[in-house]
Amino acid sequence: MLLNHLYDNPPAAVAYSDGMNVPKEALVEAINHFEDFYEEIFMELAKYGEVEEMLVSDNIGDHMIGNVYIKFADENQAKAAMDALNGRYYSGKIIMAEFSPVTDFREAKCRQYTEG
């Protein structure tokens, strides 16, 4: 399942990924922000079934930034989560959930990455 553009990358994380010098305190805050987000979303999704994997795309590619990919133990659990979450709001954003063709997160690559 895919939750489109749900995670907001903190400015410090974006600056760091662009190679800029970022104060350690800002990086620690960005890490804490990510961990809080991950735990909150994981716990919400676990209400609908066994979450086998969850990946948060915190890169800076516009088409992928903030996407959350979830692999449930079975498709019915994913469908239940998708039905329950679609149309709800998180942090002022409407949740847009859909099935994703990605089955192996470790091997998944963005087409822009593949094309260089």
* Residue in this structure with the two tokens 């019915």, named with its chain if needed: 76
pLDDT, tens digit, for every residue of 22-64? 999 999 999 999 999 999 999 999 999 999 999 887 665 555 6
Tokens of 92: 């002022």
Calpha distance 107→6 (Å, rounded)? 22
pLDDT, tens digit, for every residue of 64-114? 678 888 999 999 999 999 999 999 999 999 999 999 877 666 655 555 555
Calpha distance 113→57 (Å, rounded)? 14
**Spans of all domains in the chain:** 2-114
Nearest to 68 by CA among 77, 76, 59: 59
Q: Which CATH architecture best describes the domain 2-114?
A: 2-Layer Sandwich (3.30)
The residues near 29 (Cβ < 8 Å, ≥ 6 apart) are 10, 12
